[in-house]
Amino acid sequence: MEQQIIIGRKPVLDGLQQGIKFDKILIVKNSIGEEIERINIFAKEKKVPIQLVPKEKIDDILYKNKLVESNHQGVVAVVQMIEYVSIDDIIRSAEEKEEAPFILILDSITDVHNFGAIARSAESLGAHGVIIQQSGSAPINPIAVKVSAGALLNIPVCREQSIITAIKYLRAHGIKIWGADVGESTQVNQVDFSIPTAIVLGAEGEGITPIIKKFCDGLIAIPMVGKTESLNVSVSAGIILYEALRQRKLNK
């Protein structure tokens, strides 16, 4: 599986006009011209993230894709590997299965291996979907898909501009928000996962962003007895997902 990219100003502009779904567009900083302006306009309309990057960043992408001879004109677009869904789609999917929604929210998880491993556990253990932020999240690229063992092609993924806005929307729909954290938290086996629930998982080593933590209804932790202070975020996700699945099977 290869990541498809489109190179050059006119091809990227044509792609936007033709409705090709881009994951992101990279433009060399300080690039100017009518085509650059139109790319920015169409990308904004279609909610495609634009990243302003040094020329070396694009050169590196082309090198990795064996396209070093290509004339990129300061613009490269990465085609989406999956079809993103809305939060409503995830909730509707749970309702169609006559199940209480169970959703993972990934806050600033940028490592593709952790992302892929979390998606694999989420799909295998019955989560209805994963919510990520448009910027500052690991890309869904061939490495992430491979680590997920293909799970990213099967589990619904929603990409939102703001995690906080997503949390507010979920809470408005009666979904309880728990943040996975260490310290003074409720133990994971003491949480009722049979009700509509979303779990926020933070970045490796840093945890949940403080501002996002404030919007959680509560914090949960995995009880530990060893000397190691914390678990890898993908391991934590797997444990929480298993506990949720165990409870939901008991309540059927």
Mean pLDDT by 10 residues, the chain (252 residues): 82 94 93 95 92 92 78 91 95 95 96 96 97 91 92 96 96 96 85 96 89 94 82 93 91 68
**What are the phi and psi torsion angles at 198 (to 5°)?**
-130, 140
**pTM listed for this prediction:** 0.88
Superfamily of domain 87-250: SPOUT methyltransferase, trefoil knot domain (3.40.1280.10)
Which CATH entry fits the domain spanning 5-79: 3.20.20.70, 3.30.1330.30, 3.40.30.10, 3.40.462.20?
Answer: 3.30.1330.30
Give the number of C-alpha atoms closer than 13 A to the C-alpha of residue 87, restricted to the C-beta side. 21
| pLDDT value at residue 41 | 96
Q: Domain limits of the chain?
A: 5-79, 87-250
| pLDDT value at residue 228 | 76
Tell me the DSSP string of 184-231.
S-EEGGGS--SSSEEEEEEBTTTBS-HHHHTTSSEEEE----SS----
